[in-house]
Structure 1
Amino acid sequence: MKALLLAGGLGTRLRPLTENLPKPMALVGNKPWLEHLIVHLKQQGIGDFVLAVKHYADVIKKRLGDGSSLGVRIEYAIEEDLLGTAGAIKNAEDLLSDRFLVVNSDIIHEISIIPLLEFHRNHNGLVTIGLTEVEDPSQYGVVELDMSGRILRFVEKPNKHEAPSRFINAGIYVMEKEALQWIPKHKEVSIERETFPLLIEKNIGVYGKTINGYWMDMGTKNRYRQLHWDLLDGKFTLPLKEKEQGKGIWLGRNTEIGPGVLLVPPVLIGDEVHIGERSVIGPYAVIGDHCELGRHVRCSETIMWDKCKVHDSTQLNNCIFGYGLEVGSRHILHEAVMNRAVGVIQG
């Protein structure tokens, strides 16, 4: 069985971080999330992948290639025009197996797909949607199910007290290729708002199965920060290349910590990082590979991608930095999100 990873979205809510790369390539724990996702699915027995790509597809291809570096096989379905979630699946039809897994690649999760596959095999429908339970469903498309797990309807962004359930589409599906006949070619189509309701209306069989484990849509800057704090707190786990050197302190290879530096856990510091004397790093700091932090730097609740440079005496709190950013001397930045290309600060 193949896995189709939807990786063609614009990622507008994470701009300027995603100004020059696809959202699934945003770093999570100092590695592109898309790479983590492929490794996670490989560990569950999936070795064949199709990546649906559009924006900055070359960034993904350059990093992942044919998948051999990860021990998997990767093919690409390239969208010439925006096709939506269902249109992207239809565009990849010729590359897919008769039964396949679909994953929205900007969803962060740590789940087992085996129960989802087993549930799908045991009913006669064409689609199984992975569902996750949320406290407040009013910002999502909520499902109503019968006792067998068949989905009766979707209710888009209902009033909190009128929602038929607290279960929402988790962006993970098992599909039979037969279902794709209901998606038109070369047209922008939403699977959530158009295809699934159509299949339900025609009584073809759309089922839902709750998934267990960590789930987070990283589509906003606040959620992007929160998933990193959850990672540092151990609420979900990733195979980090950094080694834990003490409780809540992860350090990469060839990293130099100057005299008098205080690391306040939890912190994650990548490979070949240099931190100058008497700096205070943490709590909740994620520093990418090949970064250079000067003397007397204070850095807390901040995520910093690779190859950033922070000058002496700079104070950083609640910031996110893209690749290769340089922050000048004696700056105090609070709640900043900065793009490597233009250095614009946004709250």
Structure 2
Amino acid sequence: MGDLKAVIQAGGRGTRLAPYSTVLPKALMPIGEGTVIDHLLEQMSDAGVKSVFITVSRFGPLIRSYCGDGDRWGLDIEYVTEDEPLGTIGPLNGLRDRLDGPFFVSNSDVFTDLALGDVVAAHEVHSAPITVVTTRQRVDIAYGVLDHTAGRAFAFREKPTQEFSVSTGIYLMEPSIFDYLPESGPFGFDELMLAMLGDDAHVNVYDHGGTWVDIGRIDDLRRAQEQAAQQLPGRS
């Protein structure tokens, strides 16, 4: 596939993780023997990524100080300052000329045991502008559910559970993805999916069945820390 690049989105405010996120960005939250971004950068290096762009905002100086030039991961890291919120996909516009081959895009607040090399292999099989990494999430409904029409119930389910395939916030993209982005302004992953599906574009999916935690809340951070601790040498 040639030289892989990656973009890590670390410009979010992390308000759901307050009060921790008032002093540290989610990317630098401690996980295992490192931080969230440590794990991401190690996974990217293992997959053959050479260059990483990290989008930053108010916590930019802290992230720059911690990650440096990326040498300790065998990576070349550059930083892109996000002066205004641009959504999950909008920041890519500032890198149009630099992203000239396949590239990963990842949120900075995910903890996973995903092997990115497997995503690369799956992506190469399909000629698609994007591969979205998904995982299964269950939603428990704490109430009795009535299915009804015209004022008459026809089915009842007590506290049902539903399962959905959700985006992990990790993607592998081709430069052709820019055909679906406006040239400037905020743009989210939801808008990208609607634009691509509305155009009947090929959206490839890689389903990950292992560990994945979106570190958006304090309970999620604790769960990720517990799972990381179990993976340390000497732990069962």
Q: Same fold (TM over 0.5)?
A: yes
How many correspondences in the alignment? Answer: 216
| Matched AA of 1:216 | V
| Matched AA of 2:171 | Y
Residues 162 and 92 (structure 1 numbering): CA distance in 2 closer, same or farther, change over 3 Å?
Answer: farther
Q: Out of 44-53 and 3-12, give the one that drifted further.
A: 44-53
| Matched AA of 1:121 | E
Match of 2:62 among 50, 53, 59: 59
Larger Rg: 1 or 2? 1
Residues 72 and 50 (structure 1 numbering): CA distance in 2 closer, same or farther, change over 3 Å?
Answer: same
Q: Residue in 2 aligned with 1:95?
A: 98
SS in 2 for 1:51: strand
- Deviation at residue 137 of structure 1 after TM alignment: 8.4
Residues 137 and 198 (structure 1 numbering): CA distance in 2 closer, same or farther, change over 3 Å?
Answer: farther
Q: Residue in 2 aligned with 1:167?
A: 165
| Aligned equivalents of 1:33, 1:105: Cα separation in 2 | 7
Q: Quick check: 1:183 aligned with 2:175? A: no
Contact 2:90 2:184 survives alignment (8 Å): yes
Q: Quick check: 1:8 aligned with 2:11? A: yes
| Aligned equivalents of 2:194, 2:101: Cα separation in 1 | 22
| Matched AA of 2:175 | K
Superposed CA offset, 1:36-83 (max 9, x none): 210222123222211121231111111112112332111122211110
| Matched AA of 1:170 | T
SS in 2 for 1:229: helix
Residues 33 and 16 (structure 1 numbering): CA distance in 2 closer, same or farther, change over 3 Å?
Answer: same
SS in 2 for 1:124: coil
Q: Quick check: 1:110 aligned with 2:119? A: no
Residues 44 and 93 (structure 1 numbering): CA distance in 2 closer, same or farther, change over 3 Å?
Answer: same
Q: Residue in 2 aligned with 1:86?
A: 89
- Deviation at residue 20 of structure 1 after TM alignment: 2.8
Residues 14 and 213 (structure 1 numbering): CA distance in 2 closer, same or farther, change over 3 Å?
Answer: same
Q: Residue in 2 aligned with 1:209?
A: 206
Residues 36 and 209 (structure 1 numbering): CA distance in 2 closer, same or farther, change over 3 Å?
Answer: closer
Q: Which runs of 4+ in 1 moved over 6 A?
A: 160-163
| Matched AA of 1:206 | V
Alignment of 1:1-347 (within 5 A): 1-136=4-139, 166-191=164-189, 193-232=190-229, 234=230, 237=231, 248=235
| Aligned equivalents of 1:125, 1:108: Cα separation in 2 | 26
Contact 2:43 2:116 survives alignment (8 Å): no
SS in 1 for 2:119: helix
SS in 2 for 1:89: helix
The structure showing larger relative contact order (alpha-carbon pairs under 8 Å, at least 6 residues apart) is 2
Contact 1:102 1:174 survives alignment (8 Å): yes
TM-score for both structures, normalised by structure 1: 0.58
| Aligned equivalents of 1:6, 1:115: Cα separation in 2 | 22
Contact 1:22 1:57 survives alignment (8 Å): no
SS in 2 for 1:58: helix
Question: Gapped runs of 5+ residues in structure 2?
Answer: 142-158
SS in 1 for 2:8: strand
Contact 1:99 1:174 survives alignment (8 Å): yes
| Matched AA of 2:184 | H
- Deviation at residue 161 of structure 1 after TM alignment: 6.9
SS in 1 for 2:23: coil
Superposed CA offset, 1:84-109 (max 9, x none): 00102223323323211111110111
Contact 1:14 1:219 survives alignment (8 Å): yes
| Aligned equivalents of 1:39, 1:7: Cα separation in 2 | 16
- Structure holding more helix per residue: 2
Contact 1:132 1:170 survives alignment (8 Å): yes
TM-score for both structures, normalised by structure 2: 0.83
* CA RMSD in angstroms, aligned pairs only: 2.3
Q: Percent identical across equivalent pairs? A: 26
